Amino acid sequence: MSYSTAGPSRTVTLDDVRGAQKMLSGVARVTAMEGSRHLSQLVGAPVHLKCENLQRTGSFKLRGAYVRIAGLLPEERAAGVVAASAGNHAQGVALASSLLGVHATVFMPKGAPLPKVAATREYGAEVRLYGQVVDETLAAAEEYAAATGAVFIHPFDHPDIIAGQGTVGLEILEQCPEVRTIVVGVGGGGLLAGIAVAVKALRPDVRIVGVQAEGSAAYPPSLAAGHPVSVPHPATMADGIKVGRPGDVPFGLVRDLVDEVRTVSEDQLSAALLLCLERAKLVVEPAGAGPVAALLGDPHAFEGPVVAVLSGGNVDPVLLQRVLRHGMAAQGRYLAVRLRLTDRPGALATLLGVLSVVDANVLDVSHVRTDPRLGLTEAEVELHLETKGPEHCAEVNHALRDAGYTVMG
């Protein structure tokens, strides 16, 4: 689905973004721009990947965090800073604070991925685990700021944060001056707003498209209402863009400057992450794969050359394992089937023989013999198979049915 945008109000300027770029010189990397032959063939025009997953701390968040903290008054720095995040903003604040000699306290949800918690500590921050969701963690961080005088560093709702993220847009124009469309993942909107400020000021002809996960898409209803609207229970594997309400500052900029906001499904995110890993050899987290998911979902909707911003690569290995399996299933390369067979010696070997003929690789087999739904001589078998695509999945199912098996799922 897609939603058009429109409206007034501007709180961050091109000069702000250029100032942020000077401030970040020698701090943030000018990340690589990689071409994608596969996506280019799909879209019918050149597609380039802006690799913010290769930025220091593994995401674009360092840019905004550093600009925000560097702009604090001496007495504010002395009081320290506090932030709340499930991962990427936490690491950006931790490293930026360390580089600037500022004490940082970072609140993270109790369920935050362990690698992100460990990395935040290694960058020098004091980590406090609180709450089950980011909203609870944010509230705790704000209470800490009120009680201690520490400066709260918001992940997206501040002009300095947006100006820092906007430096990605300046780099895109320098690296790909012929760009016609820029596709950016959206959570609270800081990155999208910053890129839009920089790019629209220099190249108003460039189309800018935001991408949100369907289960956490607060921007479409907000744009329709003309003001930020909350999504009650945001749900997506893409924790980097799992934000229930747009920020007030970025919302105004997105409304004014961004051409369109699209949504993508969890299946599309999984397939995009898998494509980045297999075809581009890039480890990208689900939030970072959002723009690629949009290209896969509707490739002919984007005028090229296209730049897709891979915003981060901090993916929990456990989640990566699940997402890869989910992505393989979405592409028809992983098939789970349940069927019943007679519980007698050799029955399983016969079944596996059928699968061998159609070249389906068996990854796992489980038996159920004691379910009351089963007959006295029946067993239920669940098979997890590695397949070669949707056509091969259909071939496997046909072969099983032709052999007399009732496939239940």
Catalytic residues: 61, 311
Quote the CA–CA distance of 304 and 342 in Å, as a whole number.
57
Query: Taking every pair of C-alpha atoms in the chain, what is the biggest distance, in angstroms?
Result: 79
Quote the CA–CA distance of 349 and 346 in Å, as a whole number.
5
Can you give the three-state secondary structure of the chain, one letter per residue? CEEECCCCCCCCCHHHHHHHHHHHCCCCCCCCEEECHHHHHHHCCCEEEEEHHHCHHHECHHHHHHHHHHCCCHHHHHHCEEEECCCHHHHHHHHHHHHHCCCEEEEECCCCCHHHHHHHHHCCCEEEECCCCHHHHHHHHHHHHHHHCCEECCCCCCHHHHHHHHHHHHHHHHHCCCCCEEEEECCCCHHHHHHHHHHHHHCCCCEEEEEEEHHHCCHHHHHHHCCCCCCCCCCCCCHHHCCCCCCHHHHHHHHHHCCEEEEECHHHHHHHHHHHHHCCCCCCCCCCCHHHHHHHHCHHHCCCCEEEEECECCCCHHHHHHHHHHHHHHCCCEEEEEEEEECCCCHHHHHHHHHHHCCCEEEEEEEECCCCCCCCCEEEEEEEEECCCHHHHHHHHHHHHHCCCCECC
Cβ atoms 287, 53 nearer than 8 A? no
Within 10 A of 115 (CB to CB), how many other CB atoms are there? 15
Quote the CA–CA distance of 282 and 52 in Å, as a whole number.
11
